[in-house]
Amino acid sequence: MIKIKFSGFGRISKIKRATTSAVILAAGDAVRFGGGKATALISGKTVLERSVEAFDKCPLIDEIVLVLPRENFREIRDKIAPTMPAKVKKIVKGGDTRQKSSLLGVEATNPKADFVAIHDAARCLITPEMIERVCREAVNNRAATAAHRVVDTVKYADEKGFIEKTLDRDYVWLVSTPQVFMADMYRAAAYTARDAEFEATDDCSMVERIGFQVKLVEVGGDNIKITYRGDIACAEDILKRRSGAEVKHE
């Protein structure tokens, strides 16, 4: 890992290794999935287990905090805790929105961590290599997010659903997670958003709102989000393709 020294939100000089705490969010009610998404099986492992495993295997992640639903929190925590790797330092109760859950997770991380990496557990096909790529770009740029360039033609519509203009797809990306930020930057953005009652759809939006840039990191199209039951089959197909590619490579 590149070595760094921080001066507020300023430039980075090469002095010490950055430490990164990961927050994995599994606190949603999964209405569109029909409930129980975190414990749904994909090729023999649960959605949550796959996400945790990827972060556990990434050498740039120093600790993991899991954020679980408020409903049945103790039951879920007690069930999964014995199976979690040593990097999982805390399991905490989430809030009533994703934004609140993210902040609760970050507040439970090591206060001395240089960076926080926030990830949706539902993106369980993330790999240690993808995570490392985003973390390294965050160190170099103070903030970075996993993303994927669009390949389709993208239209911008008016409020009635008519095309207003065609966007240049060379500049359009689909943003996913992990989203990695300097820890102090994230806290400043999150607390400012909370005080202003600003509701963001992702963590990058809060950081953008207070004037910081976030580096987009291409991780490919495999980093899908499990949203509907049908996504399980898509995820299993991706895993089969990966396994086949590995066998062929060997």
- pLDDT of 61 reads 98
Taking every pair of C-alpha atoms in the chain, what is the biggest distance, in angstroms?
54
What is the rounded average pLDDT of the residues 108-113? Answer: 98
Structural domain includes residue 11 = no
Domain count, the chain: 1
Structural domain includes residue 61 = yes
Exposure letters 170-207 (e unless 16+ CB within 10 A, then b)? eeeeebbbbbbbbbebbbbbbeebeeeeeebebbbbbb
Amino acid code (one letter) for 140: N
Structural domain includes residue 34 = yes
Residue 221's CB is within 10 A of a number of other CB atoms, namely 13
Q: Locate tokens 């972060």: which residue?
A: 55
- pLDDT of 2 reads 41
Assign 247 a pLDDT band (cuts: 50, 70, 90): very low
| Beta bridge pairs of residue 165 | 156
Q: Check pLDDT > 50 for residue 173.
A: yes
Q: Check pLDDT > 70 for residue 79.
A: yes
Give the pair of three-digit tokens for residue 214: 């976030």
- pLDDT of 9 reads 55
Question: Domain of 33?
Answer: 19-249
What is the rounded average pLDDT of the residues 84-97? Answer: 97
Structural domain includes residue 177 = yes
What is the rounded average pLDDT of the residues 26-49? Answer: 88
- pLDDT of 35 reads 78
At 186-233, the pLDDT tens digits run 999 999 999 999 999 999 999 999 999 999 999 999 999 999 999 999
Q: Check pLDDT > 90 for residue 120.
A: yes
- pLDDT of 248 reads 40
CATH of the domain at 226: 3.90.550.10
> If DSSP states are collapsed to H, E and C, what string results for the chain?
CCEEECCCCCCCEEEEECCEEEEEECCCCCCCCCCCCCCCEECCEEHHHHHHHHHHHCCCCCEEEEEECCCCHHHHHHHHHHHCCCCEEEEEECCCCHHHHHHHHHHCCCCCCCEEEEEECCCCCCCHHHHHHHHHHHHHHCEEEEEEECCCCEEEECCCCCEEEEECHHHCEEEEEEEEEEHHHHHHHHHHHHHCCCCCCCHHHHHHHCCCCCEEEECCCCCCCCCCCCHHHHHHHHHHHHHHHHHHHC
Structural domain includes residue 59 = yes
- pLDDT of 8 reads 54
Structural domain includes residue 6 = no
Q: Check pLDDT > 80 for residue 60.
A: yes
Structural domain includes residue 14 = no
Give the pair of three-digit tokens for residue 121: 């557990």
In whole angstroms, give the CA distance from residue 156 to residue 150: 14
- pLDDT of 170 reads 94
Structural domain includes residue 9 = no
Entry pTM: 0.90
Q: Check pLDDT > 60 for residue 1.
A: no
